[in-house]
Amino acid sequence: MKKLPIVVALSSVAVAQSVYAQSSVTLYGLIDAGFMYTNNVVKGTTHGSLFQATSGNINGSRFGMKGSEDLGGGLSAIFVLESGFNVQNGKEGQDSRLFGRQAFVGLSSNDYGAVTLGRQYDSLVDFVSPLSATAGTFGDAGFAHPFDNDNLDHSVRMNNAIKYTSVNYAGLKFGALYAFSNSTDFAVDRAYSFGASYAIGSFKAAAGYLQINGSNTTTNTGGAIDLAESAANGTGGFQLGADRQRTFGGGLNYAFGPATVGFVYTHSQFTDSTAFGSAHGSVRFDNYDLNGKYSLTPALSLGLAYVYTDGHVDNNGPRNNDPKWSQVDAQIVYAFSKRTDVYLEGMYQHAIGQGNVAYVNNSGGASSTANQVVATTGMRLRF
């Protein structure tokens, strides 16, 4: 009889080991720190050159954990909790959210895909952005389109979201997202999106759609989009003062040898906007993104992108012009290892139209003229 407690204890250990063997939790992160020079920056009543220590010149610094539990039959429980931060001062990003970048939990099936709930990326970010110059493996933040008007650089994430992502069907993947307003006014401050991608050999193609309703007129702070976060980011399309955004886009990407070339087109329309002198009219943007990368050696890679943004303002008001921007981006990356690299980037933007000024995303401020030059260098470490 005395042997029974020992047998029970050993059985408990065996069961615990079996459970833990079917579960996994991974801690991960990325630190991006550097320096940036921007000319012609307007600060209050003065303007001039700006030299600054920066965090996230290319990729936002982050720390996260992700995990899964095998539930059997090809089904797993999954989660991701990811926090953004500024490495220069240690502050939390995304308007001081603890897990501002991503926070979701869900179920994943080997046969049918995954359903997740929480704060997540929309379908344009998932499918179209990887083919553009704003891809996380390319220029990301610095190469974003003006005001990140198409949200390819995820200036805003979707709160209260339920999301479906398919498995890979012979190169085809698709998904959809719906983000609730969490309000009795069901349609105000909600969002939905869907998209798909296809890859065969060296060729990739993708398309997606995003719509966000009523985010500018509502006082709802618990909806799909938080205006305070957009204001803190300072670059999101919702700084355009619109009540509704509709964005669709698509792209192509082809790799041959050490080179990869891509093209992405997006169209964003902001309804009931007060931007650019519009008296509650419509503001539209057509973005044309041509990009390419070339690996000189396994450690050294070059990148080049050209983005032309054609803006249209209805009910112009006193300014009576359609804004346009032309931007050239260049990048050099040298990798010491798979985890650590250093980089050098340069961006030049020219604004077209009466009274319009240049403003490279994350540059530190708008230009006092129609031109702006940004040069940045830094180091990234992944863990």
In the three-class reduction of DSSP (H, G, I as helix; E, B as strand; rest coil), residue 239 is classed as helix
Question: Which is nearest to 281 in space by CA: 317, 249, 251?
Answer: 317
Kindly list the domain boundaries of the chain, sorted by start residue: 28-382
Question: Which is nearest to 330 in space by CA: 145, 153, 142, 151?
Answer: 142
**The pTM is what?**
0.89
User: Which fold is adopted by the domain 28-382?
Assistant: Porin (2.40.160)
Question: Which is nearest to 29 in space by CA: 77, 61, 71, 56?
Answer: 61
What's the angle, vertex CA 259, arms to CA 300 and CA 54, rounded to 5?
Answer: 45
What's the angle, vertex CA 287, arms to CA 62 and CA 85, rounded to 5?
Answer: 10
Place of tokens 């970048």: 101
How far, in Å, CA of 383 to CA of 379, rounded? 13
DSSP state of 164: E
Q: Are 323 and 349 in contact (CB under 8 A)?
A: no
| Beta carbons within 8 Å of 17's beta carbon, 6+ residues apart | none
Q: What pLDDT tens digit does each residue of the chain (383 aa) get? A: 444 444 444 444 444 444 454 899 999 999 999 999 999 999 878 889 999 999 999 999 999 999 999 999 999 999 999 999 999 999 999 988 999 999 999 999 999 999 999 999 999 999 999 999 999 999 999 899 999 999 999 988 999 999 999 999 999 999 999 999 998 888 888 999 999 999 999 999 999 999 998 766 555 678 898 766 655 555 555 556 678 899 999 999 999 999 999 999 999 999 887 777 666 778 899 999 999 999 999 999 999 999 999 999 886 555 556 899 999 999 999 999 999 999 999 999 999 988 889 999 888 899 999 999 999 999 999 99
